[in-house]
Chain A
Amino acid sequence: MNGRAPNWPHIGLALVVIGALIAAPQILTGGVAQNLAILSILYAVVASNWDLTLGYAGIFNFAHVAFFGIGSYVAAISTLQFGVPVWWDLALAVVVVMVVSGVVSSLALRLRGIYVALVTFAVTQLCVALINSQKDITGGPVGLIGVPDLQIGSLAFGSDARAYFYAAEILLLASTIGLRLLVSSNFGLSLVALRDNESYAVSRGMPARRQRVLAMIASSIPTSLAGCLYAHYLIVASPDVFSFSLTTLLLTMVLVGGAGTIYGPIVAAFVLTVGTEKLSGLGNVRYMVVAVLIVLTLRFLPGGLWSLGRVRWPASPAAAPASAASFDLKERPE
């Protein structure tokens, strides 16, 4: 990120990625593959943003799935119940989720350690409880069906799912670039410093709670947009988005992919979404397989899948503090 000499391998890599992003929706047009790709991309957005708070900032934030769910419900409720035109609901969702995440995190971050996990978890459950209690607005346990399509001019996205594919890709690309810039900025470094040695970082003048609340708010923005796209694409908003199983799936992406890497959770999102689909012939046994893989990864590859790459290509100095800190705090002097 020094921005002096052009870094040709990086520019080459960027061109390959952009080429792949343009080509993929044209190649993957089969229903199943297309659907899996779009879902993988949206999960990748959610998981990589969760990594900002969980991996980089070290906050035991279990409310991240709620941001995704609230995003999808704001899209559904505002368009269906209040006639908000499409696209505007996206803006509304971002605002609502930013406010929710700001309030939740400034309350939850008064607490420490495991209590943060339990309270943020409770917030997710509170969302489900509210949705079930407000049946007239939210559709209750069934959810809201018939979320209108996104539309540009006369192109309804639903008539050609490639449009959703591109929209999801743009979101993932923008979110990933944003996240990488954020974690390598002074702000990102302050989050890592607070995670690794809070008392020292605070003594050097870092406002712990403010930085963490800001991280929570930042991570909630792309997440809420992913929730909106999810609702528009699937044309439903259902309480399943707050479910324990989706929380687990996304958490698995973060930890198995590699906490504190941003790219790891993205890779894991594709691997896990496609992988569980490929194993669908096994029925429920596939979840058992995934569970065993989670435990084995945490046991023998604590840095996650992404750390496999690091063994062969040593980390660049800019990336090192984040990756090393995640699971090797022990050696650091107090």
Chain B
Amino acid sequence: MSAIIVSGLVSGALYALIASGLSLVWGALGVFNFAHGVLLMAGAYVAWWLSSPDGLGLGLPVAILATLVFLIAAGAILFFLLVRPWVGKPNAELAVIMTTIAGSIFTQNLVLEVFGGRYKTIDQVVSGTIWIGGTAIAAQNLLCIVLAPVLLVGMWILLTRTRTGLAIRAVAENQDVAQLFGIGVQRIYLVTFAASAVLAGLAGILLGGLFNISPDMGTDPLLRAFVVVVFGGLGSLPGTIVGAYSVGMIEAFASYYIGIYWTPVVLFLVLIAVLVIRPTGLFGRAS
């Protein structure tokens, strides 16, 4: 039982990191980033390349710091190349879905060309097993469980207590008025993309320590993140977090009690049920 809960908490934590970035970007720009899964993958690969003896062998701490810098740059590049030209244009939603899909195809195949198709593993950030109340938890899992809420609380503080956060929320609320008040809307977009890339990349590094890394490692988490944001309501950080942990728990319990093949079926049925009852998700606002 406690093992199921731990596994639900780990997935919930990772989903929360991934989905909150998607939700943040949606809130500020009103576009949906299908390349979010690729940011996760890119974070994992860069961290692997910098840290692994087969790559540069700099060791994990240096690698993670350098990866954060890379992710900020990657988020910015993504924004400038694939999002900015379409923001504010008619049909921006559909066009950006398509450009970010194209961006992820490009990056996945680039990674495949550069690093090859063989699975790789990142060293775990922490190793070993910790016993809590009679349950053995792998230290990496515990790190996910602890780190995700810390990061999310950090983001919450950033959004509610800082001027930049206020500006992000102002842009999300009403872009024109925000601009009238002297907020650099483009800068806010950039900050939002960079923050969301960092969250995705960190999730990638954590995932890379739990599973193998491969060019398509971002696809499944992205699909789960879709479910999460629909479940919780796009653009709502609390909703996204509640959604992420609910999805993680449903998955953990469903795969234990009714089997791994039925889990996605249950998940999607629950999702469709939620939408029929509450079309904007549990916490979403009507658009």
Q: Is B94's CB within 8 Å of the partner chain A?
A: yes
Contact B106 A330, beta carbon cutoff 8 Å: no
Give the residues from 29 to 75 in chain B that come closer than 8 angstroms, CB to CB, to chain A: 32
Q: How far is the CA of A79 from the CA of B268 in the complex (A)?
A: 28
Contact B268 A122, beta carbon cutoff 8 Å: yes
Contact A119 B91, beta carbon cutoff 8 Å: no
Contact A248 B101, beta carbon cutoff 8 Å: yes
Contact A329 B275, beta carbon cutoff 8 Å: no
Contact B230 A115, beta carbon cutoff 8 Å: yes
Q: For residue A116, give the distance in angstroms from its CB to the closest CB of chain B.
A: 10
Q: Is A145's CB within 8 Å of the partner chain B?
A: no
Stretch among A19-27, A186-194, A293-301 lining the B interface = A293-301
* Number of A interface residues in the complex (CB < 8 A): 47
- With A287-B105, A292-B106, A329-B90 in contact, is A113–B287 under 8 Å at CB? yes
Contacts of A155 in B (CB 8 A): none
* Most chain A CB inside 10 Å of its own CB: which residue of B90, B263, B272, B279: B90
Identify which of A117, A251, A288, A327 contacts B106 (C-beta below 8 A): A288
Q: Is B219's CB within 8 Å of the partner chain A?
A: yes
Q: Which residue of A lies closest to B222 (CB)?
A: A244
Q: Is B99's CB within 8 Å of the partner chain A?
A: yes
- With A112-B287, A284-B112, A291-B105 in contact, is A107–B276 under 8 Å at CB? yes
* Most chain A CB inside 10 Å of its own CB: which residue of B93, B99, B102, B109: B102
Q: Is B234's CB within 8 Å of the partner chain A?
A: yes
Contacts of A132 in B (CB 8 A): 261, 264
Contacts of A110 in B (CB 8 A): 275-276, 279
Contact A126 B90, beta carbon cutoff 8 Å: no
Contact A122 B287, beta carbon cutoff 8 Å: no
Q: For residue A295, give the distance in angstroms from its CB to the closest CB of chain B.
A: 5
Give the residues from 268 to 295 in chain A that come closer than 8 angstroms, CB to CB, to chain B: 283-285, 287-288, 290-292, 294-295
- With A129-B265, A288-B110 in contact, is A244–B219 under 8 Å at CB? yes
Q: How far is the CA of A107 from the CA of B106 in the complex (A)?
A: 34
Contact B98 A299, beta carbon cutoff 8 Å: no
Contact A284 B113, beta carbon cutoff 8 Å: yes
Q: Is A158's CB within 8 Å of the partner chain B?
A: no
Q: How far is the CA of A118 from the CA of B268 in the complex (A)?
A: 11
Contacts of B276 in A (CB 8 A): 107, 110
Identify which of B103, B262, B268 contacts A125 (C-beta below 8 A): B268
Q: Is B26's CB within 8 Å of the partner chain A?
A: yes
Stretch among B6-14, B79-87, B157-165, B179-187 lining the A interface = B79-87
Contacts of A121 in B (CB 8 A): 226
Q: Which residue of A lies closest to B261 (CB)?
A: A133
Q: Which residue of B lies closest to A330 (CB)?
A: B90
Q: Is B121's CB within 8 Å of the partner chain A?
A: no
Contact B85 A118, beta carbon cutoff 8 Å: no
Contact B89 A330, beta carbon cutoff 8 Å: yes
Contacts of B263 in A (CB 8 A): 129
Name B's A-contacting residues (CB within 8 A): 26, 32, 81-82, 85-86, 89-91, 93-95, 97-99, 101-103, 105-106, 109-110, 112-113, 219, 223, 226-227, 229-230, 234, 259, 261-265, 268-269, 271-272, 275-276, 279-281, 287
Q: List 22 A-B contacts (CB under 8 A).
A: A111-B275, A112-B279, A112-B287, A114-B32, A115-B280, A115-B281, A119-B230, A122-B227, A125-B264, A126-B268, A126-B269, A129-B265, A132-B264, A133-B261, A244-B219, A283-B113, A288-B105, A291-B105, A295-B81, A295-B102, A326-B91, A327-B90
